[in-house]
Amino acid sequence: MESGNNEMVPQWIQEIEQPAALVSYIYRTCQRYFAKELATYNLGWGHFAILMAVNEMDGPSQDMIARSRGFDKTMVAKSVIRLEEEGLVQRVTDAHDRRIKRLFLTEKGKTVFPELLQIGLTLNTAMFAGFGKSTSTQAIEDLRKIALNVSKL
Amino acid sequence: MESGNNEMVPQWIQEIEQPAALVSYIYRTCQRYFAKELATYNLGWGHFAILMAVNEMDGPSQDMIARSRGFDKTMVAKSVIRLEEEGLVQRVTDAHDRRIKRLFLTEKGKTVFPELLQIGLTLNTAMFAGFGKSTSTQAIEDLRKIALNVSKL
């Protein structure tokens, strides 16, 4: 894996005209950051994203996580198995529909969660270094608008 | 693979606070778009990105492409093999240093290139639907700034 901190990269970033290429670069670099930071937890970015979803949603099923986040179902299924092995999430059969397994953080998951959240917050802060408050808000709104645009592709 | 066009996705996009998650969603959706559009060429996004690099740079080596774009070297090596198999790029030994193999588009590569470029341009237009000229320019500059910020991680 290449280091993100390469003298040729900033030059390319300055020259590139293709926003999709910038998004790709940001994504890959964030993913590398997560890989490094999450290694001690034996987790990758996919696991992290699913933990965030489990925390935000009210006992979601795997299928709900996949559909709401646009994730591949197989990726979610595999990640949930790992998260269970790590003792961070548990499956609970829905009280009204026994076919549905709902996901919740375990006690260990709840304990570890703030540390993981901090990894994400540190990344967000780094992403917007040098942005003012209003310009970072505007940039996030622009990202949201781009995300909505591409969701229609 | 999930369809990007899911009724739950827009709701999540509206609610999400994490810019890295928005970047991830945009990346994955763009990648799916490329996968679909490039299937007839037997190529994926990685191949596309490398063809763009070969076109922009003056006979780059694989190593230069990896370093300048922050790509994994193994990914570049594998992609170049496929691009050679498809007859789109060729390796030429550098006139001054026989250890260096420089990459160029073949005649077929030059013929196909405009069609591939159009796939990228269509995506860029879709990404910025509803943005004015100055707001899309600002949004791209913001992406560039974020890319530079994360390159320091």
**Multiple choice CATH, A46-120, 1.10.1030.10, 1.10.10.10, 3.20.20.140, 3.40.50.300:** 1.10.10.10
Q: What is the pLDDT of residues A91-122, one digit of tens each?
A: 999 999 999 999 999 999 999 999 999 999 99
Contact A106, A51 (CB under 8 A): no
Residue of A71, A129, A143 with shortest CB distance to B22 = A143
Which residues in chain A (104-123) have CB-CB distances under 8 A to chain B?
Answer: 120, 123
Q: What is the pLDDT of residues A116-137, one digit of tens each?
A: 999 999 999 999 999 998 999 9
The candidate with the shortest Cα–Cα distance to A116, out of A31, A44, A62, is A44
CATH class as words, domain B18-124 = mainly alpha
Place B7 in a pLDDT band, splitting at 50, 70 and 90.
low
Count CB-CB contacts under 10 A for residue A12: 21
Q: What ranges do the domains of chain A cover?
A: 46-120
Residue of A11, A33, A142 with shortest CB distance to B139 = A142
Confidence (pTM)? 0.82
Q: What's the token pair of residue B6?
A: 């899911």
Q: What is the pLDDT of residues A48-70, one digit of tens each?
A: 999 999 999 989 999 999 998 88
Q: Do B150 and A45 touch (CB under 8 A)?
A: no
Round to whole Å and give the CA distance between A114 and A116: 5
